[in-house]
Amino acid sequence: MAFQNIIKIEKPDTYLDIAFRRGRDKIALSRQKAKGPNIERSKTIELDRLRAVRNSLFNFLDKILKSFPSLDTMPDFYKELVKCTIDYGETKRSLGGVKWAMENIDKFFRIYSTKIKRARDISSINSYRREFYGRVSSIMKQIKQELEILEISRKIIREYPTIKTDIFTVAIFGFPNVGKSTLLSKLSTSKPEIAAYPFTTKGINIGYAKQGSKKIQLLDTPGSLNRFDKMNNIEKQAHLALKHVANAVVYIFDLTEPYPLEDQEKLYQNLKKMEKPVVVYLSKADTLEGDVVENFKKKTKAFTDVKKLEDYLFSLT
């Protein structure tokens, strides 16, 4: 899902300034083309002005609605991610507020267009145009808070990782600095999207492995011993990816202990409770004594060879 395409949301005055400027630009052209008696020319000019203002505001708001993802039809992973990272109810209400504004701007455009068409003097035409400007200005200012809420939500949503939910997916799981990114790079057929979603700044690293016509999505997911409500947004992304997206998990142990082995074991046991196939991989095995590696492999059935691990993962698809 292309969350980076959600457009930046401005303040109401910004949209109004642009709309009124487009209205002024439109009448400059209309004056050159309008024909007939003065009152008919005035009607044509002001109707063109109102239409330019209406179209500008309507299109700005419509782009906001269309660029936001449909919160109710998102895959479960993204639904839960939305609910734990933004104010879901306020965001939905704010999107409804934008739709309300569009409907009312359109309604008043029709009302005042009709009034101008039926006007009998130029003074009335100008008065109706001013009333229309006042109406649409009021509508836009009434959704000031809604636009602010949507901009806050946009900044959070656009940082979500772009994860495919319809492909066999393997989560590479473990504490930071145990070798997840290295394994991801070795398994990935092409360069993984590490620059786009580094776990130290944004979220989940993503890569893809291919064997013949088969393809696996690989997610580098940082582990945490915290309860879900105590996790930061990155850790929540990882937890939800495990829960809703991963079909299998590679758990990485690092016996050089950047994290205490006791904590690594505890995280491993927590992971097994999710009832997904779990494969153990021992990182940095070439830096360890041979008997240490062999004893660990016997105990956990851990892989140390990346090619054998890859073949095993494809056998699960």
pLDDT band at 194 (very low <50, low <70, confident <90, very high): very low
Strand (E) or helix (H) holding 209: strand 205-211
Cα 196-200-205 angle, rounded to 5 deg: 40
Tell me the pTM. 0.77
Mean per-residue pLDDT, 53-67:
97
Q: What is the C-alpha to C-alpha distance for residues 89 and 149, in angstroms, rounded to an integer?
A: 11
Query: What pLDDT digit, counting tens, does each position of 82-120 carry?
Result: 888 889 999 999 999 999 999 999 999 999 999 999 999
Percent of the chain predicted with pLDDT > 90 = 56
Q: What is the C-alpha to C-alpha distance for residues 278 and 302, in angstroms, rounded to an integer?
A: 10
Strand (E) or helix (H) holding 278: strand 278-282
Query: What pLDDT digit, counting tens, does each position of 140-191 carry?
Result: 999 999 999 999 999 999 888 788 888 999 999 988 888 888 999 999 875 5
Is 256 a residue whose pLDDT tops 70?
Answer: yes
Q: What is the C-alpha to C-alpha distance for residues 165 and 143, in angstroms, rounded to an integer?
A: 35
Is 29 a residue whose pLDDT tops 80?
Answer: no
Query: Which of these, 168, 155, 180, lies nearest to 250 by C-alpha position?
Result: 180
Mean per-residue pLDDT, 183-210:
67
**According to the model, what pLDDT value does residue 247 have?**
96
Is 285 a residue whose pLDDT tops 70?
Answer: yes
Is 233 a residue whose pLDDT tops 80?
Answer: no
Residue 118 token pair: 């039926």
Percent of the chain predicted with pLDDT > 70 = 92
- What is the per-residue burial (b if ≥16 Cβ within 10 Å, else e) of 84-117? bbbeeeebeebbebbeebbebbeebbeebbebbe
Is 310 a residue whose pLDDT tops 90?
Answer: yes
List, edge to edge, every strand of the sheet that includes 169-174.
205-211, 214-222, 169-174, 248-253, 278-282
Mean per-residue pLDDT, 199-207:
61
- Domains of the chain, by residue range, sit at 3-157, 169-315
pLDDT band at 197 (very low <50, low <70, confident <90, very high): very low
Is 4 a residue whose pLDDT tops 90?
Answer: no
Fold for 169-315, please state it. Answer: Rossmann fold (3.40.50)
**According to the model, what pLDDT value does residue 241 have?**
84
Q: Does domain 3-157 have CATH number 2.40.160.40?
A: no
pLDDT band at 224 (very low <50, low <70, confident <90, very high): confident
